[in-house]
């Protein structure tokens, strides 16, 4: 597969944009120490690696187990006053807890044992190159919710083949929920129960319910203007939720998710879930969403196109 030129730009680890602060791009040291730049090994698009259906099934089961094991590490810290640090050194606020770091260590240890040839790209410890297949990990997506005792957070794990994520798992340990997707299919699991995920269709943008983590993450005036223009057109907007709003879209509970300042580890695990449920996830200009940035997800193709047109006109 030929990779479009627009996909070729290197990707560095970036703290998500916060109010008035552009994303801060740094890689964390493997030992958990101070962040270091890794200019020689950016996380980026590469030659697509072949993954057979049999291999994919095995990788998916491993991802589910990794997420569950990470959840077991996280839960003792939930609603138990976990230690919190601010990853921003020069203004802004990007929190990380001891649970985030411990969960990523757990996931990395499993990958190193089972798939030592694979790469790993995690929010807390950065990018470790491998053979072209890369596990993309956000140990706790929604750290602000986690540290305030709320439920809208989850463990995110994807497997990236160099061009796109081929599978994704989202796990909420406290509620014992899993969202699992492979681009072609997706399901929701809780305990022994499981059901297929399916997005819903709506007649127009005016009928759509939109979700977004928060208006403060639209860090530039153009992004704020575009988002506000779309917000005026939809039925209503629900703020808050991080990964949960994407899960809600895949379940047919929302119709649009629009965000900015995302990283690859914020979105990759959610892409196969949304696509497997019949939805669409792209950048605002319709490009591939794997490297994050300005993201729009929708359950209905026509609503997706109409929403992108509104964003484009307003910028």
pLDDT in tens, 5-19: 333 333 344 444 444
- List the domain boundaries for the chain: 5-195, 205-314
Tell me the pLDDT tens digit for each residue of 251-288. Answer: 999 999 999 999 999 999 999 999 999 999 999 999 99
Degrees to nearest 5, angle at CA 161 with 155 and 166: 55
d(C-alpha 257, C-alpha 9), whole Å:
25
Q: Which residue has the tokens 């649009």?
A: 256
205-314: CATH architecture: 3-Layer(aba) Sandwich (3.40)
179 touches 197 (CB < 8 A):
yes
Reply yes or no on whether the pLDDT at 184 is more than 60.
yes
What is the 3-state secondary structure of 71-119? Answer: HHHHHHHCCCCCCEEECCCCCCCCEEEHHHHHHHHHHHHHHHHHCCCCE
Q: What token pair was written down for 70?
A: 């990470």
Tell me the pLDDT tens digit for each residue of 121-147. Answer: 999 999 999 999 999 999 999 999 999
What dotted CATH number matches 5-195? 3.30.540.10
Tell me the pLDDT tens digit for each residue of 293-313. Answer: 999 999 999 999 999 999 999
Long-range contacts of 98-103 (CB under 8 A, 24+ apart): 99/73, 99/74, 99/139, 99/140, 99/146, 100/124, 100/139, 100/140, 100/143, 101/32, 101/139, 102/73, 102/74, 102/77, 103/70, 103/71, 103/73, 103/74, 103/139, 103/140, 103/155
Q: Can you list the positions of beta strands (E) in the chain? A: 14-15, 24-25, 84-86, 95-97, 119-122, 126-128, 134-141, 154-160, 165-172, 177-181, 186-190, 193-196, 209-212, 236-239, 256-262, 280-283, 293-298
Q: pLDDT class for 215, splitting at 50, 70, 90?
A: very high
Q: pLDDT class for 41, splitting at 50, 70, 90?
A: confident
C-alpha Rg value of the chain to the nearest Å: 18
269 touches 171 (CB < 8 A):
no
d(C-alpha 254, C-alpha 73), whole Å:
31
Task: Specify the pLDDT at position 270.
Answer: 99
Strands 256-262 and 209-212, sheet pairing: parallel
169 touches 60 (CB < 8 A):
yes
Reply yes or no on whether the pLDDT at 2 is more than 70.
no
What is the torsional sign of CA 138, 144, 146, 152? negative
Q: What token pair was written down for 222?
A: 């153009």
Task: Specify the pLDDT at position 40.
Answer: 54
Q: What token pair was written down for 168?
A: 């994704």
């Amino acid at each position: 597969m030929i990779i479009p030129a627009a996909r070729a730009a290197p990707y560095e680890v970036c703290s998500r944009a916060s109010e008035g602060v552009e994303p801060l791009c740094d890689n964390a040291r493997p030992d958990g120490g101070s962040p270091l730049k890794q200019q020689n090994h950016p996380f980026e698009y590469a030659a697509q690696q072949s993954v057979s259906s049999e291999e994919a099934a095995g990788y998916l089961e491993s991802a589910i187990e990794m997420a569950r094991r990470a959840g077991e590490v996280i839960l003792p810290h939930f609603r138990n006053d976990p230690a919190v640090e601010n990853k921003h050194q020069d203004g802004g606020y990007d929190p990380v807890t001891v649970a985030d770091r411990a969960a990523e260590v757990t996931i990395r240890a499993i990958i190193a044992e089972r798939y030592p040839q694979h790469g790993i790209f995690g929010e807390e410890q950065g990018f470790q190159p491998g053979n072209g297949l890369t596990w993309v990990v956000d140990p706790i997506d929604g750290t602000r919710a986690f540290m305030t005792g709320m439920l809208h957070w989850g463990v995110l794990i994807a497997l990236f083949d160099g061009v796109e994520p081929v599978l994704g798992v989202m796990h909420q340990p406290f509620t014992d929920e899993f969202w699992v997707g492979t681009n072609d299919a997706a399901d929701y699991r809780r305990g022994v129960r499981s059901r297929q995920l399916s997005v819903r269709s709506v007649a127009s943008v005016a009928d759509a319910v939109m979700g977004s983590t928060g208006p403060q993450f639209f860090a530039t005036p153009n992004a704020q203007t575009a988002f506000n223009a779309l917000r005026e057109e939809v039925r209503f907007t629900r703020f808050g939720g991080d990964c949960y709003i994407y899960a809600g879209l895949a379940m047919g509970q929302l119709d649009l998710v629009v965000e900015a300042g995302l990283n690859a580890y914020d979105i990759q695990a959610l892409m196969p879930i949304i696509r497997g449920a019949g939805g669409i996830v792209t950048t605002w200009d319709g490009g591939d969403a794997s490297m994050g940035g300005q993201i729009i997800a929708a359950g209905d193709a026509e609503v997706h196109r109409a929403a992108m047109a509104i964003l484009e006109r307003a910028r």
